[in-house]
Amino acid sequence: MDYRFRSQRRVQIDEPQAPPKFDDAGDEPPEDDEEEHSLRLRPSDSNVSDDQEPFMGFKVRRKASLHREYRGDYLDVPSHPSLMKILQKQGDKQVLFADKVLKFTGSGKMKWRILLITDFAIYIIDPETDALKRRIALAAVEKMCLSELSDNFFAIIVPTEYDLLMASTRKTEIVTVLVEATKSDYELEVNFSKRFEYNAAAELVKEVQFEEVEGGVKTRILRK
């Protein structure tokens, strides 16, 4: 069945306690050929200094991201036994980054997830159930894709599995943490463009397109 569905969703992710109201189904086969998001994502209060940005000079950045201080663990992971149990089971100890982010499923739904990065792996955890949804070894990450504009989208490309498309007001910090965590083994590629493709599932390719409009950035997610 070939039809198009267009929607405009305004998403604010400064306070991640209340997730968007979407169906809580899993990553079922996609129903929409095109999704359109007019996102007005406000920058967070924390900022990043220029010398901490390995990709400085390639991206048009928000004014609020010019002088940012990194905290890394925004969830205080040691105070959450369930999160510590997951890390201990995998043998990970050093938490480089932890925060709630919006993750896009294969069908285009948005769900709150905990993004936890250690010196060995990336963890995606359900904040409601504390269930580990996915673990990706850092060595499996080939590159990251971002737009050239002041949006909050980023994709983590994992060729041996399937990719991650997420949104966070701390995107700059996430990219920097991953670049720093992998630099002793390889140079993580970071690509900036007004459009990029990612594998939303094993055999599902989507393209994310960005367009600067008055008041923000319009984002389209198209099924290829």
pLDDT of residue 150: 86
pLDDT per residue as tens digits for the range 198-207: 999 988 999 9
pLDDT greater at residue 177 or residue 70: 177
How confident is the model at residue 68, as a pLDDT? 61
Q: How confident is the model at residue 7 (pLDDT cuts 50, 70, 90)?
A: very low
- Give me the residue spans of the domains in the chain: 63-223
> pLDDT by residue (tens digit) across 32-77?
444 544 443 333 333 333 433 443 334 445 545 544 678 899 999 9
Q: CB-based contacts of 59: which residues, under 8 Å, 6+ apart?
A: 146, 148, 192
Rg of the chain over Cα atoms, rounded to whole angstroms, equals 17
The answer to whether 146 touches 153, Cβ cutoff 8 Å, is yes
User: What value does the mean pLDDT take over residues 158-164?
Assistant: 96
CATH fold of 63-223: PH-domain like (2.30.29)
Interval 105-118 mean pLDDT: 94
The contacts of residue 179 (CB under 8 Å, 6+ apart) are 54, 55, 188, 190
Total number of residues shown for the chain:
224
Nearest to 111 by CA among 19, 215, 10, 14: 19
The answer to whether 111 and 105 are in contact (CB under 8 A) is: yes
Give the Cα separation of 199 and 52 in Å (integer): 29
CA–CA gap between residue 15 and residue 221 (Å, rounded): 24
